[in-house]
Amino acid sequence: MIKRSLKNYFVCLKYILIPFGTLFLGLIIGLSIFIPVAGAALHTLIDETKNLFDEVSVEPRALVNQVVETVLALDWSNPAQAVLKIISPEWIESTLQSGLVELFGGEQTLSEYTAQISLTVDAASVSVQRGFSSLLIFAFLGVITGYFLLRLQIRKQIAARAFWKSFLAAIIEFLIVTALTVLSVWLATVWKFSIIFTFIVAVLTVGGVAIAEAYLIHGYGKIKFREVFTLKNVLLLVLSNLIIFLIWAAVTAIISYGINAIAGIIIGLVLLELTSIVLSLNAEAYVKYYCETHS
């Protein structure tokens, strides 16, 4: 079981470029929307501010450079926090405001036009925020698309099955998850240490259900149920999945500390997609292989 599961994992690593490709495509589409929208907003902001003064020569590119410098000055050792800060309206408005102050000669120069400038900054802030939101949405769609394409390819590689069997498996998984959730909630109300018991039961149940589900899909009518559904196989499946998960965690940590946190997050996220798919299909791959070699 462990050897077969690890082999599945390392063989499927060759498909890692699928989610990278869809993520890259999502970023390209998102940037193609964000850059023109943000550029137009900054140009409009500069032009409307220049109209308040006589004989002032300031290029929109100067404000763009100011914004870029401010973005690069953020603490990117924590990328998630940096991104959340960038998309906040308050940060965008304050960055644009401070950029205008520096370009047009200080706060005293702009003080008598505060109301007008605030309106133009607000409008530019909304446009930039919408453009950045589009970038994030398309990046997210790239991740989701990559997940489903990757799952389809991995399933063909290690555990192909008919559509109606997939539908049956989805119903079984839904019922089991619902039952475990109800059990956890009920135990939490009657026993404060129930989380430990629930965790053990959940791990064994998920492993057992995965093998039972795999038998119904790949082994029914070919082998006997007790040939694959044993406590040993359940424990080996859980151990195999734990080992694979630890491999993912180790690789992500090495990349994060060896390169940087951003690379660790991006590569770790893509690798997590592949890891989670292999973990969800290991039981099916084992039963399918067992049927092919013993039936």
**Band of pLDDT at residue 39, cut at 50, 70 and 90:** confident
Residues sharing a CB contact under 8 Å with residue 53, sequence separation 6 or more, in sequence order: 104, 109
213-223 pLDDT, tens digit per residue, is: 788 788 788 88
CA distance 264 to 233: 33
Query: What pTM was computed for the model?
Result: 0.70
**Band of pLDDT at residue 25, cut at 50, 70 and 90:** very high
Pull the structure tokens for residue 109: 């120069």
CA distance 71 to 83: 10
**Band of pLDDT at residue 28, cut at 50, 70 and 90:** very high
Residues sharing a CB contact under 8 Å with residue 14, sequence separation 6 or more, in sequence order: none
52-61 pLDDT, tens digit per residue, is: 655 455 555 6
CA distance 159 to 106: 66
What is the pLDDT, as a whole number, of residue 200?
63
Please compute, for residue 206, the number of CA atoms within 13 A of its CA located in the half-sphere on the CB side. Answer: 17
Q: Are 45 and 121 in contact (CB under 8 A)?
A: yes
Q: Which residues of 33-55 are buried (b: 16+ CB within 10 A; e: fewer)?
A: bbeebbbebbbebbebbbeeeee
**Band of pLDDT at residue 29, cut at 50, 70 and 90:** very high
Q: Are 131 and 33 in contact (CB under 8 A)?
A: yes
SS3 224: coil
pLDDT at residue 41 above 60?
Answer: yes
* DSSP at 105: T
pLDDT at residue 195 above 60?
Answer: no
Q: What is the mean pLDDT of residues 2-6?
A: 85
107-165 pLDDT, tens digit per residue, is: 555 565 666 667 777 787 888 888 888 888 999 899 889 888 888 888 888 777 666 66
What is the pLDDT, as a whole number, of residue 21?
92
